[in-house]
Amino acid sequence: MGFCINCGQQHHDGTRFCRFCGNQQPGEALLQRLRIEAQQIHAIRLQMQAQQQGNPYQQRRW
């Protein structure tokens, strides 16, 4: 079972459109991809923060 991202009603897995409000559902594959992308962005941000803190002069070398 999944939940509509728009109205929150329950619907069967694999449903592409909510039967209550008609909103298109992203699907588990897309959700997983978004999760992975969010994790990668978070990791890159942490890396950049660490670089800026570790090398204060690196910012001017451009």
Contact stretch for Zn ion (CB under 5 A) within 16-24, 25-33, 36-44, 46-54? 16-24
- Distance separating alpha carbons of residues 9 and 29, to the nearest angstrom: 20
Count Cβ atoms below 10 Å from residue 5 Cβ, excluding itself. 13
DSSP readout, 46-57? HHHHHHHHH-TT
**Would you count residue 25 as binding Zn ion (CB under 5 A)?**
no
**Would you count residue 18 as binding Zn ion (CB under 5 A)?**
yes
| Given 7, 34, 43, 44, the residue binding Zn ion (CB under 5 A) | 7
Residues within the interface to Zn ion (CB under 5 A): 4, 6-7, 18, 20-21, 23
